[in-house]
Amino acid sequence: MAVQTVTDRFDYLTFKGNLEHTRYGWLRLTPAHSIHLISDLLDTVSGEEPVVLDPFCGTGTTALVCAERGIECVTTDINPFLLWLSRAKTYSYSNDDLAAFKAASGKVVEAMRATECTPSWLPLLHQIEKWWDEPVLNALARAISEIRELEKCLPEGACNLLKIAFCRTMIEHANVSFGHQSMSFRKKEMRKFFLETSEDLVVESWERSVSLLQKSASTPVIGAPGMLLQDARKLSEGLQTNRYSLVVTSPPYPNRMSYIRELRPYMYWLDYLDNGRDAGELDWQAIGGTWGCATSNLNRWDPNPQIKIPFDNFYELLANIATHSPLLARYVHKYFEDMFVHCRELFTVVRPRGTIHYIVGNSKFYDVLLPVEAIFASLFQAAGFVGTDIRVIRKRSSKRELFEFVVSARKP
């Protein structure tokens, strides 16, 4: 097994490398990998064009790179919002779609400015008053109500763009910060500007987004990736066996960062969630989820006695983490048990001589450094893949011991 080392950070390989004024920059979700990295991995393929699979769709970066190149691609995820976002980013927008979007955006502006109208609906997002001050919240509520009405008569493409514009505007005026790898509320002293935000500033944000989307959506895409709502532990139930010649993906990292938590504002406003219980249940179904009831479910989880993680000192690492937190040790155990099942399923859908590339990051729990990349390599080997290779691609900013890797292998 080959391992390459590096000490530099390459921010162009993160979301920072995704060009703001293209489809890649439509929504800033945390985290996201870069188009440059995906392009580099696609460029390693020689001969006939690959059939690509991304079993953890995320923000749709792999699907969009493939769509722009006309490469056949299927992407799956357990989160319907992420699949919608990927579909919207890879959609082929016609001139009629763009014209309808432009005309409809003016009606949304009128709704935002209609301060005499009391919103009839607000999402049941916990402590929503922490997210937006009242004038902004009401303007957003009037906007989404208008978008729902427009959705009844507009083509799919125009509706996609209205919702993307809404999400951009909504998050721009939320009292949250992206200074860390996860989204957090701003400190009070940093929120003065936002607390003084008026409907006019919300409208300005909306109109900027409409202009950006109008331009970037007009850029043609060649392919139309397949989108499938599918549990990554059950790939063979929805995908053809021995079909995919190239897998390029970035699974959730084992760092207790909840993707549902990060996506809450989008999912509540767009009706993918309407209560905290459902949010926790969806996070529990996802690999690595820890939000809400997922934590209490984890306390009741028992390992499958028939699954043994094949990394040499895995259970010693678990024991060391457990001296600080039995719950975190249980979390790590479940994460890799789920990934073990996923890797076996992956083997069934990859065609012979097909290649897989997994973008992963290592983790640290208290004083225990978790070699995620090496554990993934062992899972691939146990599933039947060969030629495992680990390449360090960048140093991460959060802790000096943390890096990001591409772990690659192939099916015999």
**How sure is the predictor about 357, in pLDDT bands with cuts at 50, 70 and 90?**
very high
pLDDT of 251: 94
Query: Which whole number is the average pLDDT over 378-401?
Result: 90
For residues 80 and 272, the answer to whether their CB atoms sit within 8 Å is yes
Query: Which whole number is the average pLDDT over 62-72?
Result: 95
Query: Which whole number is the average pLDDT over 144-152?
Result: 97
Helix (H) or strand (E) holding 356: strand 350-361
Helix (H) or strand (E) holding 244: strand 244-249
pLDDT of 339: 98
Alpha-carbon span 92 to 17, nearest angstrom = 23
Alpha-carbon span 54 to 62, nearest angstrom = 7
Q: State the sign of the Cα–Cα–Cα–Cα dihedral 104, 106, 111, 116.
A: negative
Q: What angle do CA 348, 350, 353 make, to 5 degrees?
A: 120
* Span 277-324, pLDDT tens digits: 899 899 999 998 887 788 889 999 999 999 999 999 999 999 999 999
Angle at which helices 80-89 and 259-269 cross, to 10°: 70
CA nearest to 165, candidates 218, 204, 222: 204
Which has the higher per-residue pLDDT, 82 or 182? 82
Residue 3 has pLDDT above 60, yes or no: no
**How sure is the predictor about 398, in pLDDT bands with cuts at 50, 70 and 90?**
low
pLDDT of 350: 98
Query: Which whole number is the average pLDDT over 34-55?
Result: 89
The tally of CA atoms less than 13 A away on the side-chain side of residue 295 is: 10
Residue 196 has pLDDT above 50, yes or no: no
pLDDT of 112: 95
Instruction: Output the average pLDDT for the chain.
Output: 89
- Residue 82 is encoded by which pair of tokens? 């992420």
pLDDT of 182: 60
| Phi, psi of 26, deg, nearest 5 | -60, -45
Helix (H) or strand (E) holding 69: helix 61-69
* Amino acid symbol at 376: F
CA nearest to 41, candidates 395, 389, 403: 389
Q: Which residues contact 91 (CB under 8 A, 6 or more apart)?
A: 156, 157, 160, 217, 221
| Phi, psi of 405, deg, nearest 5 | -135, 155
Q: Would the pTM of this model clear 0.85, i.e. be above it?
A: yes
pLDDT of 296: 87
> How many Cβ atoms are within 10 Å of 64's Cβ, its own excluded?
25
CA nearest to 131, candidates 264, 13, 7, 12: 264
* Domains contained in the chain, CATH given: 2-80+225-410 (3.40.50.150), 95-217 (no CATH)
**How sure is the predictor about 20, in pLDDT bands with cuts at 50, 70 and 90?**
low
For residues 342 and 235, the answer to whether their CB atoms sit within 8 Å is yes
pLDDT of 322: 97
pLDDT of 191: 46
- Highest mean pLDDT range out of 164-178, 281-295, 355-369? 355-369
* Span 239-268, pLDDT tens digits: 999 999 999 999 999 988 788 888 999 999
| Phi, psi of 73, deg, nearest 5 | -150, 145
pLDDT of 11: 47
| Range name among 162-166, 258-262, 334-338 with the lowest pLDDT average | 258-262
| Range name among 20-34, 312-326, 354-368 with the lowest pLDDT average | 20-34
pLDDT of 293: 83
pLDDT of 261: 84
